[in-house]
Structure 1
Amino acid sequence: MTIDHEDAALLAGLEALLGPRGFTRDPDDLAPWLVDWRGRVRGQALALLSPADAGQVAAIVRAAATARMPLVPQGGNTSMVAGATPPAHGRALIVSLRRMRAILGVSPEDGVAIVEAGVTLSALHEAAEAVGMRFPLSLAAKGTATIGGLISTNAGGTQVLRFGPMRALVLGVEAVLPDGARFDGLSALRKDNRGYDLRQLLGGAEGTLGIITAAALRLVPAIGARAVGWAGLETPQAALGLLRRLEAATGAAVESFELVPEVALDLVLRHIPGTRAPLAGRHRWNVLVEATAPTGAPDPAGALGAALAQAIDDGLVADATVSASEAQAEALWKLRESISEAERADGMAAKHDVAVPVSAMPGFIESARQAVEARFPTTRVIAFGHLGDGNVHFNVRAPMGEDGRAWLAREGAGVSAFVHDLTVAAGGSISAEHGIGQTKLADYARLADPARLAAQRAIKAALDPLGLMNPGKLVPLAPEPPAP
Structure 2
Amino acid sequence: MTLKPADQSFLTALEAQLPAGSLKAPEPRYLEEPRGRARGQAGAVALPRSVEEVSTILKACHAASVAVVPYGGGTGLVGGQLSEELRAPLVISLERMKRVRSVDAQSNVIEVDAGCILADIHTAAEEVDRLFPLSLAAKGSAQIGGNLATNAGGVNVLRYGNARDLCLGLEAVLPNGDIWHGLSPLRKDNTGYDLRNLLIGSEGTLGIITGASLKLSPQPSAHETALMVVPSPAAALDLLALARDMVGEAVSAFELMSKQALEFLAEKMPEVRQPFAEFPEWFVLIDFGLSRAQAGQAAMESLFEAALEQELVSDGFIASSDKQRDEFWELRETIPLANRAVGSISSHDVSLPLDRLPEFIDAGQTLISSFEGLRLNCFGHLGDGNLHFNVFPPKGIDKKEFSHLQSEVKSSVHDLVAQFGGSFSAEHGVGRLKTDDLLKYGDPTKIAAMKAIKAALDPKGIMNPGAVLKA
Give the shorter-chain TM-score range.
over 0.9
Partner residue in 2 for 1:327 = 323
AA aligned opposite 2:355 = S
Q: Give the C-alpha shift of residue 262 in structure 1.
A: 1.6
Q: Is the 8 A contact 1:87 1:472 kept in 2?
A: no
- When structure 1 is superposed on structure 2, of 154-163 and 349-358 the one drifting more is 349-358
Change (3 A) 1:173 1:32: same
Q: Is the 8 A contact 2:41 2:87 kept in 1?
A: yes
Change (3 A) 1:123 1:282: closer
Q: Give the C-alpha shift of residue 192 in structure 1.
A: 0.6
Q: Give the C-alpha shift of residue 422 in structure 1.
A: 0.9
Question: In the aligned structure 2, how far is the partner of 1:144 from the partner of 1:247?
Answer: 33
Partner residue in 2 for 1:392 = 387
Partner residue in 1 for 2:449 = 455
Alignment of 1:117-132 (within 5 A): 117-132=114-129
Q: Give the C-alpha shift of residue 417 in structure 1.
A: 1.4
The yes-or-no answer on 1:406 pairing with 2:401 is yes
Report the secondary structure of 2:379's partner residue: strand
Partner residue in 1 for 2:37 = 40
The yes-or-no answer on 1:24 pairing with 2:20 is no
Q: Is the 8 A contact 1:42 1:88 kept in 2?
A: no
Q: Is the 8 A contact 1:74 1:97 kept in 2?
A: yes
AA aligned opposite 2:450 = Q
AA aligned opposite 2:373 = T
Change (3 A) 1:142 1:6: closer
Change (3 A) 1:282 1:273: closer
Alignment of 1:21-100 (within 5 A): 21-25=21-25, 29-100=26-97
The yes-or-no answer on 1:316 pairing with 2:312 is yes
The yes-or-no answer on 1:186 pairing with 2:220 is no
Question: In the aligned structure 2, how far is the partner of 1:278 from the partner of 1:395?
Answer: 23
Partner residue in 1 for 2:160 = 163
The yes-or-no answer on 1:103 pairing with 2:97 is no
Cα-to-partner distance string for 1:162-191 (whole Å, 9 max, x where unaligned):
001000001000000111111011012100
Question: In the aligned structure 1, how far is the partner of 2:358 from the partner of 2:17?
Answer: 55
Partner residue in 1 for 2:428 = 434
Cα-to-partner distance string for 1:354-384 (whole Å, 9 max, x where unaligned):
111122112111111212321x222111111
Q: Is the 8 A contact 1:256 1:290 kept in 2?
A: yes
Q: Is the 8 A contact 1:18 1:50 kept in 2?
A: no
- When structure 1 is superposed on structure 2, of 466-475 and 443-452 the one drifting more is 443-452
Partner residue in 2 for 1:482 = none
Partner residue in 1 for 2:222 = 225
Question: In the aligned structure 1, how far is the partner of 2:155 from the partner of 2:172?
Answer: 27
Cα-to-partner distance string for 1:266-302 (whole Å, 9 max, x where unaligned):
32234323444434554321011000124x3332661
Cα-to-partner distance string for 1:109-137 (whole Å, 9 max, x where unaligned):
11100000100001101111111101001
Q: Is the 8 A contact 2:117 2:142 kept in 1?
A: yes
Partner residue in 1 for 2:266 = 269
Q: Give the C-alpha shift of residue 445 in structure 1.
A: 1.5
Q: Is the 8 A contact 2:129 2:218 kept in 1?
A: yes
Partner residue in 2 for 1:481 = none
AA aligned opposite 1:461 = A
Q: Is the 8 A contact 1:231 1:286 kept in 2?
A: yes
Q: Give the C-alpha shift of residue 153 in structure 1.
A: 0.3
Report the secondary structure of 1:230's partner residue: strand
Alignment of 1:250-269 (within 5 A): 250-269=247-266
Q: Give the C-alpha shift of residue 407 in structure 1.
A: 1.5
Change (3 A) 1:301 1:277: farther
The yes-or-no answer on 1:425 pairing with 2:435 is no
Q: Is the 8 A contact 1:354 1:393 kept in 2?
A: yes
Change (3 A) 1:244 1:5: closer
Q: Give the C-alpha shift of residue 347 in structure 1.
A: 4.1
Q: Give the C-alpha shift of residue 247 in structure 1.
A: 0.8
Match among 350, 353, 357 for residue 357 of structure 1: 353
Cα-to-partner distance string for 1:239-274 (whole Å, 9 max, x where unaligned):
000000011111211110000112212322343234
Q: CA RMSD in A?
A: 1.8
AA aligned opposite 2:85 = A
AA aligned opposite 2:383 = G
Partner residue in 2 for 1:341 = 337
Report the secondary structure of 1:283's partner residue: coil
Match among 459, 468, 471 for residue 474 of structure 1: 468
| TM-score in terms of structure 1 length | 0.93
Q: Give the C-alpha shift of residue 399 in structure 1.
A: 3.2
Partner residue in 1 for 2:169 = 172
Question: In the aligned structure 2, how far is the partner of 1:175 from the partner of 1:396?
Answer: 38
Question: In the aligned structure 2, how far is the partner of 1:248 from the partner of 1:4?
Answer: 58
Q: Is the 8 A contact 1:250 1:304 kept in 2?
A: no
Return 5+ residue gaps in structure 1 as ranges. 478-484
Change (3 A) 1:89 1:344: closer
Q: Is the 8 A contact 2:5 2:67 kept in 1?
A: no
Q: Give the C-alpha shift of residue 158 in structure 1.
A: 0.2
AA aligned opposite 2:122 = H
Change (3 A) 1:22 1:304: same
Change (3 A) 1:256 1:75: same
Question: In the aligned structure 2, how far is the partner of 1:241 from the partner of 1:88?
Answer: 47
Q: Give the C-alpha shift of residue 31 in structure 1.
A: 2.1
Moved over 4 A (4+): 3-7, 279-282
Number of paired residues?
469
Partner residue in 1 for 2:438 = 444
Q: Give the C-alpha shift of residue 30 in structure 1.
A: 2.6
AA aligned opposite 2:389 = F
Q: Give the C-alpha shift of residue 404 in structure 1.
A: 1.1
Q: Give the C-alpha shift of residue 7 in structure 1.
A: 4.4
- When structure 1 is superposed on structure 2, of 36-45 and 68-77 the one drifting more is 36-45
- When structure 1 is superposed on structure 2, of 202-211 and 131-140 the one drifting more is 131-140
AA aligned opposite 2:275 = P
Q: Give the C-alpha shift of residue 343 in structure 1.
A: 2.5
Question: In the aligned structure 1, how far is the partner of 2:21 from the partner of 2:73?
Answer: 18
Q: Is the 8 A contact 1:156 1:164 kept in 2?
A: yes
Q: Matched residues, percent identical?
A: 42
- When structure 1 is superposed on structure 2, of 280-289 and 387-396 the one drifting more is 280-289
